[in-house]
Copies of this chain bind each other. A is one copy, B any other.
């Protein structure tokens, strides 16, 4: 880390070295996507609507970005403040949990010209073995959120509705509980089980 040219010393007030440590601990290995995701979260924070709002987060991919969000914001999958939609976009948004207005951050391909190793990695132009991880990381730290674009967004109301489940029943098939609103049996016993 010592020789890295850092555009920023901190990401969301966390020292970069500490964020790298958290990535290894939580994500299991250092991952460029989580690192870059960190810079994206940092940029999103700077564009949040003014005031002391309660915000939720949305990731448009299951890869890497959700972990950057979970490590740098109060939003996790299990507490319900992070939502993941598998839309294949390396994009995230932070938004007022009640009103839905916030900011979306994406990588802007038009800005990748100065960072060829990021471009190669982002578009998977070479197999992983052919990529240079050290150069990639140098570029990520040098670029930081410079390669991102932001846009104001407002979430559709159906994405703001809190999921309060109320009313449980015992499933007549498996004898375990399930939300009564799901019908006369639980969804796994009704054919949605991921198991054989």
Are B77 and A177 in contact (CB-based, < 8 A)? no
Are A27 and B192 in contact (CB-based, < 8 A)? no
Q: Please tell me which one of the listed residues B76, B93, B149, B186 contacts residue A88 in the complex, with CB atoms under 8 A apart.
A: B186
Q: Please tell me which one of the listed residues B66, B84, B156 contacts residue A196 in the complex, with CB atoms under 8 A apart.
A: B156
Given A88-B187, A91-B176, A178-B88, decide whether A78 and B64 contact each other with a Cβ distance below 8 A. yes
Q: What is the 8 Å Cβ interface bit string for chain A, positions 95-124, against chain B (1 contact, 0 not)? A: 000001000101111100000000000111
Asked if A166 is an interface residue, CB under 8 A from chain B, the answer is yes
Q: Which of A9-17, A45-53, A55-63, A135-143 contacts B (4 or more CB under 8 A)?
A: A55-63
In the complex, which residues of chain B have a beta carbon less than 8 angstroms from the beta carbon of A153?
195-196
Q: What is the 8 Å Cβ interface bit string for chain A, positions 158-196, against chain B (1 contact, 0 not)? A: 010001011110100011111100100011100010111
Asked if A146 is an interface residue, CB under 8 A from chain B, the answer is no
Bound complex: CA of A24 vs CA of B115, how far in Å? Answer: 39
Are B67 and A79 in contact (CB-based, < 8 A)? yes
Are A177 and B109 in contact (CB-based, < 8 A)? yes
Copies in the complex: 2
Asked if A40 is an interface residue, CB under 8 A from chain B, the answer is no
Bound complex: CA of A56 vs CA of B13, how far in Å? Answer: 32
- Chain A 63-92 residues near chain B, CB threshold 8 A: 63-68, 70, 74, 76-81, 84-85, 87-91
How distant is A62 from chain B, measured CB to nearest CB, in Å? 6
Q: What is the 8 Å Cβ interface bit string for chain A, positions 124-156, against chain B (1 contact, 0 not)? A: 100000000000000000000000010001111
Are A176 and B64 in contact (CB-based, < 8 A)? no
In the complex, which residues of chain B have a beta carbon less than 8 angstroms from the beta carbon of A179?
88
